[in-house]
Structure 1
Amino acid sequence: MKTITNKFKIALVAVGLLTIGTVSAQRTTGADFTKQANTVLGAAAGSVKVVDNKGTIKYLQSNNGVTMFTDTAPDGGVVTTWQLGGTLTDNTYIDASGAEFGITGISAIDPTVDAAAAISDIAATTYGATGFTLMVRDEVTGEIKKLLATDLVSGIRTEYIQVGNAAADVAITVTGLPLLTVGSTFAKLFVYRNGVKLRTISDFVATADTVTIQFDAADLPMYAGDIIEIQYIK
């Protein structure tokens, strides 16, 4: 019975080790790393040959998201620099248990810019110390940027009451309304006259901070007391 119990314990340990290996697939030992070719001046990657204080020959090289470059014009000696940035070759995990992990200095996206252009703009917007931001990726440059959650899910609502019967187009100020694009971001704008939805372009046009009702005495008159409700979803 004692032998069976010991075997059972060994089996449990083996299962535990397999489970750990499955959860963290990144390499934590150097046993399976292949030595790279010796680096040369002006080259990226490769390996750097060093000798320790006992005369043992060793090699330093970069891998998995770390790049290395050896100076072409050394100042007083050959300078090899390691820096973050490169191709991940293994699943990589960062254990932040018991500590905070953050990244600062990420460029902000200006929510007032046309959505299509905002993704490729580095905005001057500086976010405060409150609230939450969402991380997004610029598909043009690959740069990681941030967008305030409130800018993504919030919106604008403006209500305008017509004073007197109109005889021409009626321009309504909508503070914060960005420049919209027909066929894409215009779909986020809704304009109602006395509860009835108006049609984009044919009934109204929009520019930055302004919605203009296209007055038509027969098809779209504007009478005193008419209520125009404007909704824009970011």
Structure 2
Amino acid sequence: MKTSNKTNIFKQAILALCILSFGLASAQQTSGDVTKASDIIPGTTTTGGAVRVVDNRGTIKYLQTKNGITILSNTTNDVTTTTWQLGGTLTDDTFIDVDGNVFGLDGIELISSEVPSTDATTESDHGTGTGYTILVRDEATGAIKKLLASDLSLIQSGQESFTATAGQTAYPLTGSPVLPSYSQVWVYRNGAKLIANVDYTVAASTVTLVPGGTAPNNWAVYAGDIIEVQFVK
């Protein structure tokens, strides 16, 4: 009886050793002739250039990336392909650091004379509004946000006229807009353009006239003069 038990134990040990050896052999990496295989194509069973994996039911599948999309394909006659795509809801803040490299998008549709959105709301889903908004970047946080076209302040212009009192030289603009450089500010007295930085100066939102000069170009500000200021920035 003891001999029989020892024999059974020995047989079980040999069997376990064989199973372990098979498992170790299956886990080894092997290399084949890559010139005889090609990359996996969805709907086919070719396996070159992919990583072979085994699922929890022992089915052999192959994992590879194609244009940034991961494809999972098995090698049975009835091929199953599962594609993992970008999309869904972000659960954490996500940043891509291009580290000085170009990050671009090709194939973007060009639009013209489209209607800007008038009903856009914060964090709205697609299909819930009309027209177009503009994507902008918050430099403080790096977050991408949207902006109504009507709120885009890249270009501003203004015009204001004043009826002068005798000797009046300072003309502060309504709303206190910060005026740009002389090349973008034009000042007229009764329709005649004054010379920038000679007949007038600009500081913050105020235009200051500098009457005087020598004959025959000497001049003064009289009551009722119309002073017009135009600017663009």
Indicate whether the TM-score tops 0.5. Answer: no
TM-score (normalizing by structure 2): 0.41
TM-score (normalizing by structure 1): 0.41
Whose RCO is larger (CA < 8 A, sep 6+)? 1
- Quick check: which has more Rg, 1 or 2? 2
